[in-house]
Amino acid sequence: MNERPIPPRRPMTLRDVSEASGVSEMTVSRVLRNRGDVSAATRERVLAAAKELGYVPNKIAGALASSRVNLVAVVIPSLSNMVFPDVLGGITEVLDETHLQPVVGVTNYSPEREEKVIYEMLSWRPSGLIIAGIEHTDACRKMLAAADVPVVEIMDVDGDPVDSVVGISQRRAGRMMAEAIIKQGFERIGFLGTQMPLDHRARKRFEGFTDALARAGLEVADQEFYSGGSSLQKGRLMTEEMLTRTEDLDFIYYSNDMIGAGGLLYCMEQEIDIPGRLGLAGFNGTELLDGLPRHLATMDAGRAETGREAARIIAARADGALTESRRIEIEPRIDYGDTLRRYKP
């Protein structure tokens, strides 16, 4: 696990919005709280300035306005994806030993919804905010950068974080899996994964994966991307279709364990020799794999550890024990299972 500090940031204030819009702080306050008689032109100017700066008004009234509530906002893309409960478990494990409590917002992988969730969460001035991913809209990044609370982006360190960041290098994870596949003698490799514009982490793994193949003089022989949620049935159908159209594949790499498990079940029904004829690997290291007849190769991305480290940063920042941002890179680990290793090391 690698750790290093990140330069500090300065939160935006009501005065910043006042200066940017050219009106008094009192007028800015009236506009942002939707109170008082303010002209439409002034209101529009103030709102535009606030959005440009990433300023979020404080909903805590009166004497509490300069304080924070004992809540930690956790923003994730999905509750149905089995990956995120593990992260939440790690966060809760640490926060249970403090005075802080997590509160969860779900974005459904929608950038627009993420903006709304972050805006509402920050307006109540939580003691910290933990958010999945490092890619956000410009409006989201401005709000996060301007927030006067500690922010931890998680599950991906490949990029420029707003504040602290904890997770694996997704590109490195893709490279590691490709190198392991190549080392086991596989050459005709297919990829099945989620629709990349919405899943930045899967996209980065795919980039790292194809880069490593290219360095070995190989390329992906067939690939398919799907939209919507992951399921065993989807993995079965896509595996059948890929093997039907590209019969000489000797390996399929899946972007997650759920569709990988579906692919494994299909191959076992067809009595395909695994991994002699066809190798398979997923990603995430989920408990689902423990219930399969054969153990699918996968990669443990350290989800619970990521949640724990993120919560420790928030807790330490909240009580003043930590004043700097942190970058913590978790080490991904390959589990060869029964479907990747042709040769013993």
> Is the distance from CB of 325 to CB of 7 less than 8 angstroms?
yes
- The per-residue pLDDT for 196 is 65
Query: What is the set of domains in the chain, with CATH numbers?
Result: 2-10+62-168+304-333 (3.40.50.2300), 170-300 (3.40.50.2300)
- The per-residue pLDDT for 194 is 81
How large is the angle between the packed helices 170-183 and 200-215, nearest 10 degrees?
Answer: 40
> Is the distance from CB of 268 to CB of 274 less than 8 angstroms?
yes
- The per-residue pLDDT for 148 is 84
Question: Hey, what are 186's tokens?
Answer: 């596989």
> Is the distance from CB of 253 to CB of 191 less than 8 angstroms?
yes
Question: Hey, what are 242's tokens?
Answer: 């890929």
> Is the distance from CB of 210 to CB of 219 less than 8 angstroms?
yes
Q: Give the number of other CB atoms < 10 A from CB of residue 155.
A: 27
- The per-residue pLDDT for 127 is 92
For residue 102, is the peptide bond before it cis, meaning its omega torsion is within 30 degrees of 0? no
The mean pLDDT values, 10 residues at a time, for the chain of 345 residues are 62 74 73 73 77 71 60 91 89 94 92 93 92 94 91 96 96 97 97 81 94 97 87 94 96 95 96 96 92 94 96 93 94 96 72
For residues 161 and 111, give the distance between their C-alpha atoms in angstroms, rounded to a whole number.
Answer: 17
> Is the distance from CB of 121 to CB of 106 less than 8 angstroms?
no
> Is the distance from CB of 306 to CB of 90 less than 8 angstroms?
yes
